[in-house]
Chain A
Amino acid sequence: VQLVQSGGGVVQPGRSLRLSCAASGFTFSSYGMHWVRQAPGKGLEWVAVIWYHGSNIYYADSVKGRFTISKDNSKTTLYLQMNSLRVEDTAVYYCARDLSSGWYGVDYWGLGTLVTVSS
């Protein structure tokens, strides 16, 4: 299982950023996928999950209405579109695979990509 992330960086408050996660080594269309973040020096915070088929999507309250998770099974790629970014969104963002459809929690993690929201 490989999860290769890209798209992080420094962005001003209120702006947008899109994270990508290219998956390989497993049947991408059969697994749910997550985004999890970790602010500097803080604990893990679950951000969003998309079911294996893409029809069930759930978000943490802290990002609901601002972030959009999506997956392209043909490209075996997971995305996180982040709009109206806030300083408190600064964190390392991890792409992660679910143990199964989306219910069961994360088993494999990407290496993470740092998003810094600062003016």
Chain B
Amino acid sequence: QSVLTQPPSASGTPGQRVTISCSGSISNIGSKTVNWYQQLPGTTPKLLIYGNNQRPSGVPDRFSGSKSATSASLAISGLQSEDEADYYCAAWDDRLSGHVFGTGTKVTVL
């Protein structure tokens, strides 16, 4: 049972904006940076956002991250069919002395 809580699913039509939340506490999101990962079906996870809102080279600017207090969000604007995947947030947790992943959100493109 993860300490970072995400909604199990999210969906949208092509072109829409979808937002995924990640709820934590002062010991993780509240004091540490958040990363986001995309896992396409049957593939290895890929870093999507690091340091709360930084995109690695090659990640489209349709993906954006933000953080406020003990919550973080990933936004996908201009949703495309290839965005259908599982998305995970992650952060270091001072209380657990380790990294934690969120529960994961499955994004479906309708």
Contact = CB atoms under 8 A, between A and B. Distances in A.
Contacts of B68: none
B64 interface: no
Contacts of B92: 103-105
20 contacts: A34-B99, A36-B45, A36-B101, A43-B86, A43-B101, A44-B88, A45-B101, A46-B101, A49-B99, A58-B97, A59-B98, A94-B45, A104-B51, A105-B35, A105-B99, A106-B37, A106-B99, A109-B44, A111-B44, A112-B44
The 5 closest A-B pairs by CB, nearest first: A43-B104, A46-B99, A44-B101, A105-B35, A109-B44
Interface residue SS majority, chain A: strand
A87 interface: no
Given A43-B101, A49-B99, A106 B90 contact: yes
Interface of B: 2, 32-33, 35, 37, 39, 44-47, 50-51, 56, 86, 88, 90-92, 96-104
Contacts of B100: 46
Contacts of A10: none
Interface string A86-119: 0000000010000100011111111110000000
Nearest to B46: A109
Contacts of B45: 36, 44, 94, 106, 109
B88 A43 contact: yes
B98 A46 contact: yes
A19 to B, nearest CB: 15
Contact of A107 (B39, B56, B97, B103): B56
Given A43-B88, A99-B50, A110-B44, A104 B101 contact: no
Contacts of A107: 47, 50, 56
A81 B11 CA distance: 40
A98 to B, nearest CB: 9
A109 B40 CA distance: 14
